[in-house]
């Protein structure tokens, strides 16, 4: 087993950061690994496998989630004003598992991996990457 942590910065209130390239580099360093487990640390962060060919996809996803969980109307907003971020992170989910073969992620042609920050901008976000034999 190998565990690494990617440290990310976000620059927007809601942002999907493509982390595919960094994950491919990690996979290539460990050609015998069979699975890559990804875990977004933080109650307002998530991880998503999604298309990246059309840049409108991430905009559409963020718009959809904002319509599903609009800001400013939840009980938790009375505590710290970010209930919608918690709800969005819960909908998307904090983890993904990707199969590996010969140091390659078995993503399809159009799939990339995105770290989702629903409560940014943040100077420090973490994505835990665990490779399993």
CA-to-CA distance for 44 and 48, rounded, in angstroms? 13
> pLDDT, tens digit, for every residue of 25-71?
999 999 999 999 999 999 999 999 999 899 899 999 999 999 999 99
At 75, the pLDDT band (50, 70, 90 cuts) reads confident
Instruction: Give me the pLDDT at residue 109, please.
Output: 93
- Domains, the chain, ordered by start: 2-132 (2.60.120.460)
- Mean pLDDT to the nearest integer, 3-11: 98
CA-to-CA distance for 8 and 13, rounded, in angstroms? 14
SS3 24: helix
Instruction: Give me the pLDDT at residue 92, please.
Output: 98
> pLDDT, tens digit, for every residue of 86-128?
999 999 999 999 999 999 999 999 999 999 999 999 999 999 9
CA-to-CA distance for 9 and 115, rounded, in angstroms? 10
Instruction: Give me the pLDDT at residue 21, please.
Output: 98
């Amino acid at each position: 087993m190998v565990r690494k942590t990617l440290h990310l910065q976000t620059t927007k209130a809601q942002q999907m950061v493509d982390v595919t390239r960094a994950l491919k580099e990690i996979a290539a360093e460990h050609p015998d690994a069979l699975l890559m487990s990804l875990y977004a640390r933080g109650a307002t962060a998530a991880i998503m496998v999604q298309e990246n060919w059309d840049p409108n996809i991430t905009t559409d996803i963020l718009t959809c989630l904002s319509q599903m969980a609009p800001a400013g109307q939840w009980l938790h907003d009375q505590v710290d004003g970010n209930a919608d971020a918690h709800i969005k992170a819960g909908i998307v989910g904090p983890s993904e598992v990707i199969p590996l073969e010969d140091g390659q992620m078995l993503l399809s042609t159009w799939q990339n991996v995105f770290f989702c920050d629903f409560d940014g901008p943040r100077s420090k976000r973490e994505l835990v990457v665990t490779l399993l034999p």
